[in-house]
Amino acid sequence: MSDITVFAARKIITMDPNQPEATHVAVRDGYILAVGDAECANPWGGGTLNNELADKVLMPGFVEGHAHMMAGAIWDYTYVGYHDRTDPEGQHWSGLDTLDAVVERLTEADSKLPKGKPLVGWGLDPIFLSDERLSRRHLDAVSADRPIMVMFSNFHLLCANSAALDLVGYGAHTNVEGVVMGADGEPTGELQEMAAMFPVMRRLGVDFRALSLREDAVRSYAKVCQRVGVTTATDLFSTIEESDIGLLHRITADRDFPLRLVPALGTTEAPEANAAKALALREQSTEKLRLGAIKLMTDGSIQGWTARVRWPGYIGGQPNGIWNTAPDMIHALCLEMQRAGLPMHIHVNGDEASEVVMDALAEAKAAHPRPGLRHVLQHAQMMDAPQFARARELDLCVNLFANHIWYFGDQHVAQTIGPDRAASMDGCRAALDAGVNLAIHSDAPVTPMGPLFTAWCAVNRQTMSGQTLGAAQRLSVQEALYAITLGAAFTLGMDHEIGSIETRKRADFAVLGADPTQTTPETLCDIPVHGTVLGGTVHLL
């Protein structure tokens, strides 16, 4: 009779308060038909038992509410960063803590590369390397004739070897901001900001545009997601055009493609034109491609001192940060998107940025009331209790950057905003206490995608130096698991479809090797992920 599959599991954590745990889930036509024990499909005439996942723990497929598609294709380049990472193919790359190790890894990559092809590294973060700064001398030791560049983790700097510098003609006569000169009067190889970096990138064929919206980039992004149990992920600030839709439809329709992709269109044009484009894109949505959301940038980053912060500013006395979109334009865009009924994901790092955006949204919502239209403050790292209260009043969601606590927490204490404000950063507890819908994210490739790690950060708030930063803002494991499933689904307006394992929802699961509710909170991030199930199709690693 019917095509009902009954998946057996060691345990199913449903995130549905009516039935928090189960052992079986019945699936028909890609949707969850019933949840319970081995008999759960019996009222429907029973189904075919599938024991493939019988020794695994199932959770709702994780939802990454803030990441970027280039997290996949960036792995075309050789990783030389400080932290351990795993590439889309599952290969583990150990973190490198000395320049010698960086040179060694690049030398190995050099030996495997065909002659004449440039060598590109990525992910270097000098903050974590205590010895000297990477220079062209180190890279010349890798190769004297192959052009080499290493992109730093913040994407604002790179280092090139002599062969690459020679392609451009940088030399002692060069006298330009951004081309760092050494004591010997020659360029050190370090190039700062795009104007100085671009002549080298151009000659080495490094084009960031190729890291998104190309077939291999889309597919490798999906692999990144599958490895960490993510079944729905955003691409936040997409430059998607009508002409990209065919490709995305074809790829996402593929049964083997293990992801619901949610690109949010970057605001790049006049507000009306932008809204019209997003509305047209929305019509092109499918089961696995969700279009129509908007991404709006406002300020920069806290660790780059470019976030717009309120008094008393940065502890080092650095000038306040920069707006990437003028406050006037933020108002105009919020007004137009609210009028058009388009959900917005709004990047706000500093607390002045979150304030300006809430002013703009208050105005927009007064002009065009649309109950149920969800806007999300993304990162929102410096929001305090009064700002969360206001977010609640305005019916806004927040998606906090929990991974920041681990990766940059120590720096925020020592260098950016000081211990007191750092302790309240990414205030997950304050958000929940104010009654705001909460998601937490990785911003991959800025930090690696991994919702269980992100949840671990929100639960433990441990920094790289081992300190607990802001114990008062910690979440319980249950709350953190909610934030990476239903909480994140809510921010995408998809909580009626995904985020929990209950009847009527899509059969999207994360396949885990252990039970996150039974492990100690300190080991939440160590739980193995074996793959996903998407719409009832099993995608094991």
Per-residue H/E/C for 303-363: CCCCCCCCCCCCCCCCCCCCECCCHHHHHHHHHHHHHHCCCEEEEECCHHHHHHHHHHHHH
Site string for another protein, 140-159 (x = CB under 8 A): ---------------xx---
If the CB atoms of residues 166 and 515 are measured against another protein, the closer one turns out to be 166
**Nearest distance from residue 69's CB to Zn ion, in Å?**
11
- Any contact of residue 446 with another protein (CB under 8 A)? yes
* Interface residues toward Zn ion, by CB under 5 A: 347, 443
**From another protein, Zn ion, none, interface partner of 255 (C-beta below 5 to 8 A by class):** none
**Nearest distance from residue 64's CB to Zn ion, in Å?**
11
Segment contacting another protein (CB under 8 A): 24-32, 173-181, 431-439, 491-499?
A: 173-181
Task: Assess contact for 51 and 533: CB atoms under 8 A.
Answer: no
Task: Assess contact for 125 and 82: CB atoms under 8 A.
Answer: yes
Restricted to residues 248-277, the positions that interact with another protein (CB under 8 A) are 266-271, 273
Restricted to residues 273-292, the positions that interact with another protein (CB under 8 A) are 273
Q: How far apart are alpha carbons 76 and 62 in whole angstroms?
A: 25
If the CB atoms of residues 138 and 295 are measured against another protein, the closer one turns out to be 295
Residues in the chain: 541
If the CB atoms of residues 426 and 479 are measured against Zn ion, the closer one turns out to be 426
Torsion sign (Cα): 209, 213, 219, 223? positive
Q: At what angle do helices 271-282 and 242-253 cross, to 10 degrees?
A: 30
Smallest CA-to-CA distance from 498 within 426, 429, 439 is with 439
**From another protein, Zn ion, none, interface partner of 199 (C-beta below 5 to 8 A by class):** another protein
- Any contact of residue 328 with another protein (CB under 8 A)? yes
Q: How far apart are alpha carbons 71 and 69 in whole angstroms?
A: 5
Restricted to residues 205-224, the positions that interact with another protein (CB under 8 A) are 207-209
- Any contact of residue 168 with another protein (CB under 8 A)? yes
- Tokens encoding 257: 């493609």
- Any contact of residue 301 with another protein (CB under 8 A)? yes
If the CB atoms of residues 135 and 447 are measured against another protein, the closer one turns out to be 447
**From another protein, Zn ion, none, interface partner of 366 (C-beta below 5 to 8 A by class):** none
Segment contacting another protein (CB under 8 A): 29-37, 125-133, 140-148, 200-208?
A: 200-208
The HSE-up count of residue 487 (CA atoms within 13 Å, CB side) is 24
Q: How far apart are alpha carbons 280 and 293 in whole angstroms?
A: 11
Segment contacting another protein (CB under 8 A): 190-198, 254-262, 275-283, 433-441?
A: 190-198
Binding residue for another protein, selected from 315, 329, 385, 514, defined by CB under 8 A: 329
- Any contact of residue 117 with another protein (CB under 8 A)? no
Q: How far apart are alpha carbons 451 and 461 in whole angstroms?
A: 14
Q: How far apart are alpha carbons 541 and 531 in whole angstroms?
A: 5
> Any idea what DSSP says for residue 157?
E
> Which residues on adjacent β-strands are paired with residue 157?
192
**From another protein, Zn ion, none, interface partner of 177 (C-beta below 5 to 8 A by class):** another protein
Angle at 13 between CA 288 and CA 51, to 5 degrees: 80
**Region label for 461, one of left (φ > 0), alpha (ψ between -120 and 50) or beta (otherwise):** left
Segment contacting another protein (CB under 8 A): 98-106, 246-254, 440-448, 490-498?
A: 440-448
Q: How far apart are alpha carbons 147 and 166 in whole angstroms?
A: 9
- Any contact of residue 131 with another protein (CB under 8 A)? no
Which positions lie near another protein, rule CB under 8 A?
68, 70, 155-156, 168-170, 172-179, 193-196, 198-199, 201-202, 207-209, 237, 239, 266-271, 273, 297, 301, 308, 319-320, 322-329, 347, 352, 356, 443, 445-446
